[in-house]
Amino acid sequence: MSTVSATNSNGPPLSYPEGLPDNVAPLTIDALASGARLLFAVTLATGALLVLGLLVNPPQFYHSYLFGYVFALDMALGALFWVLIHHVADAGWSVGLRRVYENITRAIGPLALLFLPVLIGTFSGNLHAWYAFVHGPEPDEEHLHHLWHVKHLYFHTPFFLARLAVYFGVWIAYATAMRRWSLTQDAVGGAALTRTMQWWAPSGVVLLGVTSTFFAVDILMSLQYSWFSTIYGVYFWVGGLRGSLSMGVLLVLGLRAAGYLRQTITMEHLHDVAKLMFGFTVFWAYIAFAQYFLIWYGNVPEETQFYLLRRNGAWYTLSLLLPILSFIVPFFVLLPRAHKRHPKWLAFAAAWILAMHAYELYWQILPVLHKDTVRVHWLDFAAPVFFLGVLLGSTFWGFVRYPLIPIRDARLNETIGYENETP
């Protein structure tokens, strides 16, 4: 394939396939200057607020921190899923979008380090009540004997920490490997690395599904340690899948507005992503309803406690609004074909889904701390803003250092000039 040179202010000249527009080169520091300074300042300020919150109100800090942490981690894991599923499906149309999600997965490394406060909150008893229960003496109440024996084995500290190490190890290993092979392909070209990524991707999808499910059980479902739901793992990661799709859409729309990717990632590609957003909105509603309906029908105390807690005070209002705001609104916004192809409607839908994903996680986590009613705290805003800053900072670090698309992917021509089938 013949090539043309393009200027890269962050490193040596890059060699692009002929006909590929040069606005896919890495972003320049100058282009990001004002935005990068604002992002850094907001992230630093909210981080300082989190430290202050730890000093003045530890229980509130740890619950708000977990809320913000899972909001970012869920999207990073969702992005890893989309990278892997691209290779599993051997898709051609999504080649240009792949680098966006590869860069979002960069946040998994920093988030692994930022998980330490969650562990401290767990072992200090400020976050997970199960720690005091399973590490204390066997309870006198007969109905708690079996629960204590089971939880004592499962949450034994070495086993608990070993599981977490496996989770983060799998996520970091696959995210790093997929990015490294993709970036190496930018330099050497050819289809060999594509075949390598396709060979490893199926096992990555399986391991990601298993580890994210167990993470949800260990860290989120265990907030009410005597409650259980066999569908909760799917309920957790389906939110991350549509949240990461929405984050990718907003990033691409922002880059296009700044003059990048306009001929490479068009509304044809975003139209297909919008279809996935619509589909996973319906899937989220199905999973959420399935969990609620089976628990309601079974009427078993060990299961109903989750929803009973969220019937107290203003939590009941939030529970009633959740399916309306998180399903019905995005469903009808994304239903018309024209909305899927209109940047403003698509940006609104993506931003709305992200906001509702945060709402849903707040609804899952904070009732454990404020059992009687909703008590909004300033830490509930500082935490997700801080972690969103970490996620965006990690993503733009990749945008600055490397091309915005996989410039020498063997199937790149399939994504250039891609068009949807006419309805």
- How close are the terminal C-alpha atoms of the chain, in Å? 35
Q: Is residue 420 part of a domain?
A: no
pLDDT digits (tens, 9 = 90+) for 275-318: 999 999 999 999 999 999 999 999 988 899 999 999 999 999 99
Q: How many other CB atoms are found less than 10 A from the CB of residue 51?
A: 9
Write the CB contacts of 254 (distance below 8 Å, at least 6 apart in sequence). none
Tell the burial category of 137 from Cβ atoms under 10 Å away from its Cβ (0-12, 13-18, 19+).
exposed
Count of domains observed in the chain: 1
pLDDT for the residue numbered 146? 81
Structural domain of 363: 3-415
Residue 421 lies in a domain: no
Question: Which has the higher per-residue pLDDT, 145 or 41?
Answer: 41
236 domain-assigned = yes
Asked if residue 176 is part of any domain, the answer here is yes
Residue 68 zone, left/alpha/beta (φ > 0; ψ -120 to 50; rest): alpha
How far apart are the C-alpha atoms of 66 and 165, rounded to whole Å? 18
The pLDDT value recorded for residue 3 is 41
Cα Rg of the chain (Å, integer) = 22
Asked if residues 357 and 239 have their Cβ atoms less than 8 Å apart, the reply is: yes
Least confident of 19-23, 67-71, 199-203, 322-326: 19-23
Position 2 confidence tier, pLDDT thresholds 50, 70, 90: very low
Confidence grade of residue 54 (pLDDT, cut at 50, 70, 90): very high
* Total number of residues shown for the chain: 423
- The model's confidence at residue 7, banded by pLDDT at 50, 70 and 90, is very low
For residues 205 and 27, the model is more confident at 205
Using CB atoms within 10 A of its CB, is residue 403 exposed (0-12), middle (13-18) or buried (19+)?
Answer: buried
What is the maximum span of the chain, computed from C-alpha positions, in angstroms? 77
pLDDT exceeding 70 applies to what percent of the chain? Answer: 93
pLDDT reported for residue 368: 96
What's the whole-number mean pLDDT along residues 378-393?
Answer: 97
Give per-residue pLDDT as tens, 83-105: 999 999 998 899 989 999 999 99
Indicate if the pLDDT at residue 405 is higher than 60.
yes
pLDDT for position 4: 37
Element (H, E) at 3: strand 3-6
pLDDT at residue 8 greater than cutoff 50: no
Tokens of 146: 């079996």
Alpha helices per DSSP H over 299-423:
301-309, 314-323, 329-334, 337-340, 343-365, 379-401, 412-415
Tokens of 206: 């399986």
Helix axes 95-104, 58-89, angle to 10 degrees: 150
* Cα separation, 173 vs 22, whole angstroms: 31
Structure confidence at residue 158 (pLDDT): 94
Q: Is residue 285 part of a domain?
A: yes
pTM of this structure: 0.93
Classify residue 146 by burial, with Cβ atoms within 10 Å: 0-12, 13-18, 19+. exposed
| Average pLDDT along the chain | 90
Which of 29-33, 177-181, 370-374 shows the lowest mean pLDDT across its residues? 29-33
- Residue 422 included in any domain: no
Q: Residue 423: inside a domain, yes or no?
A: no
> 92 in a domain, yes or no?
yes
pLDDT for the residue 251: 96
Q: What is the pLDDT of residue 392?
A: 96
75, 247 Cβ separation under 8 angstroms: yes
- Please name the residues in contact with 113: beta carbons below 8 A apart, sequence gap of 6 or more: none
pLDDT in tens, 210-259: 999 999 999 999 999 999 898 999 999 899 999 999 999 999 999 998 88
Q: Are 68 and 358 in contact (CB under 8 A)?
A: no
